[in-house]
């Protein structure tokens, strides 16, 4: 089994609290932790939400940045120009920019400045009007999570890209949608199932984790995940729903370090006795008299 060097996505999402300075600080921190991609989110909230949802109270008012859920979401939303500014800042410091898109308008807006990859969150992976935009109007890689998705739905999504011979720029992620997810529900062997069923059809298989800690991400890499996505924040106690299930800089730094070590170790011996073993063999190996 040949392994590709894995990449780590720091999912900043809306953990910037609606402030550009915090967003750029999180990009810088992600770069310092050796993450490969800093990722945000883009929504057109009036397109995405019903009027009732937009005007409803936030389900957890203590985490809300507005009087209604719609106001909360708008407060956390960056404009297209601000996303371009974030992309430019990523380019400046040497980390890749990306964003999730949640609706048709956001997909077209983000395509307009040609990022190399865009993400489809689990919540929107059955939004085929938006998937059509990403398949037919965009030339970059489409990363897509399979949280809360049946296997029939997975197959329909992959086939949608196969129909136009676009699946080789599709990256699909094993994912369990929860915040946070207990280890028993992470179900890492789904990575193996996705590799077996779709490994020759799509570009890559990834793992999007919403668990606590960093113990199991290395196992995801060992199972063949070539992308690892984790939520990232500066302070897990900050106001907002995603911070508690996010890694802080110390955790992300260790995650990137450990994933590289895991990748470096995923090989067979090139020789029966490695050069590093020769000295020890001469010194320690039992020699029959």
Give pTM, 2 decimals: 0.95
Q: Residue 237: pLDDT band by 50, 70, 90 thresholds? A: confident
Indicate whether 29 belongs to any domain: yes
Mean pLDDT of 196-202: 97
Is 241 within the bounds of a domain?
A: yes
Residue 168 has which token pair? 């080789």
pLDDT band of residue 287 (cuts 50, 70, 90) is confident
- Could you tell me if residue 93 is inside a domain? yes
Domain assignment present for residue 2? The answer is no
**Domains contained in the chain, number:** 1
Is residue 195 situated within a structural domain?
yes
Question: Three-class SS string for the chain?
Answer: CCCCCCEEEEEEECCCCCCHHHHHHHHHHHHHCCCCEEEEEECCHHHHCCHHHHHCCCCCHHHCCCCCHHHHHHHCCCCHHHHHHHHHHHHHHCCEEEEEECCHHHHHHHHCCCCCEEEECHHHCCCHHHHHHHHHCCCCEEEEECCCCCHHHHHHHHHHHHCCCCHHHEEEEEECCCCCCCHHHCCCCHHHHHHHHHCCCCCEEEEEECCCCCCCHHHHHHCCCCEEEEEECCCCCCCCCCHHHCECHHHHHHHHHHHHHHHHHCCCCCCCCCHHHHHHHHHHCCCCC
Of the pLDDT bands very low, low, confident and very high (cuts 50, 70, 90), residue 214 is very high
Is residue 47 in a domain?
Answer: yes
* Domain extent for 202: 7-284
What would the pLDDT profile of 92-124 be if each residue is shown by its tens digit? Answer: 999 999 999 999 999 999 999 999 999 999 999
The answer, yes or no, to whether residue 149 has pLDDT greater than 90, is yes
Could you give the CA distance from residue 286 to residue 289 in angstroms, rounded to a whole number?
Answer: 9
Residue 1, in any domain of the structure = no
Tell me what the mean pLDDT of segment 240-261 comes to.
93
CATH number, domain at 27?
A: 3.20.20.70
The answer as to whether 289 is a domain residue is no
């Amino acid at each position: 089994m040949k392994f590709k060097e894995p990449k780590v996505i720091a999912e900043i999402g809306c953990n910037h609290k609606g402030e550009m300075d915090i967003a750029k600080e999180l990009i810088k921190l992600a770069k310092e932790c050796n993450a490969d991609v800093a990722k945000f989110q883009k929504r057109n909230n009036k397109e995405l939400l019903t009027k009732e949802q937009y005007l409803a109270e936030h389900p957890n008012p203590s985490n809300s940045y507005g009087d209604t859920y719609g106001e909360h979401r708008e407060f956390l939303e960056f404009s297209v120009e601000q996303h371009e500014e974030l992309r430019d800042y990523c380019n400046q410091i040497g980390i890749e920019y990306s964003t999730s898109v949640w609706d048709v308008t956001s997909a077209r807006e983000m395509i307009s400045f040609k990022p190399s990859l865009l993400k489809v969150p689990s919540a929107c992976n059955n939004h085929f009007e938006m998937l059509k935009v990403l398949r037919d109007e965009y030339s970059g890689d489409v990363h897509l999570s399979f949280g809360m998705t049946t296997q029939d739905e997975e197959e329909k999504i992959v086939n949608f890209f196969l129909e136009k011979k676009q699946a080789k720029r599709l990256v699909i992620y094993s994912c369990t949608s929860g915040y946070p997810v207990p280890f028993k529900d992470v179900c890492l062997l789904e990575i193996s199932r996705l590799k077996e069923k779709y490994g020759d059809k799509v570009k890559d298989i990834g793992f999007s984790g919403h668990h606590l800690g960093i113990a199991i991400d290395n196992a995801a890499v060992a199972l063949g995940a070539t992308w690892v996505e984790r939520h990232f924040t500066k302070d897990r106690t900050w106001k907002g729903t995603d911070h508690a299930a996010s890694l802080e800089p110390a955790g992300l730094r260790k995650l990137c370090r450990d994933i590289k070590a895991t990748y470096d170790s995923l090989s067979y011996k090139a020789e029966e006795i490695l050069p590093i073993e020769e000295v020890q063999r001469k010194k320690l190996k039992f020699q029959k008299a």
